[in-house]
Amino acid sequence: MEWLRSLLLIAALVASSPAWSVQPDEVLSDPALEARARGLSKELRCMVCQNQSIDDSDAPLARDLRVLVRERLQGGDSDHQVIDFLVARYGDFVLLRPRFTWHTALLWLGPPATLIAGMVVLFAVGRRRHRLESAEAVRPEEGHLTPAEEARLKRLMSARET
């Protein structure tokens, strides 16, 4: 039974080890260029997976983009030029953190605006509820009439009897 536990533990450790998406044939020989390529790859979205960077994705398109980034860096492009090239080719969607432009304003301003609107609604509902509760506290209890109401009721009852 002990060997079965050991085998399961080893299987769990192997299964939980990270999967490296960057293949050995993609790695550049220059460590500085490779570090730049890895940094850029972490900022670019895999167009297939959409939730992962191309550095984390195993998709063939992600591999093609990693190779393209490395080719552009070897060609002498700056990081900014590589990003601009990919944005021109694939649009702002290729960026994991899109730039703030008028095209992406709703993306950046929508969540805070929704949060503020929700807070305003909660505040308004709370004030209304508080006003209703305080109005009920001022109102006399059911079945108890004010003296003016009792006098009016007597007048109405006597007028009805005649």
Assigned domain for 65 exists: yes
pLDDT score of 17: 44
pLDDT score of 141: 61
Virtual torsion, Cα 12, 14, 17, 19, nearest 10 deg: -130
Domain match, 25 and 73 both = yes
| CATH number of the domain residue 58 falls in | 1.10.8.640
Q: What are phi and psi of 94, to 5 degrees?
A: -70, -15
pLDDT less than 50: residues of the chain: 17-19
Q: pTM for this structure?
A: 0.56
Which domain does 110 fall in, by range? 105-161
Domain match, 60 and 90 both = yes
Within a 10 A sphere around the Cβ of 62, how many other Cβ atoms?
Answer: 24
Burial of 113 (C-beta count, 10 Å sphere; 0-12/13-18/19+): exposed
Assigned domain for 7 exists: no
Domain match, 21 and 89 both = yes
pLDDT score of 104: 80
pLDDT score of 142: 63
Domain match, 83 and 130 both = no
In tens, the pLDDT along 94-130 reads 888 888 888 888 888 999 999 999 999 999 999 998 8
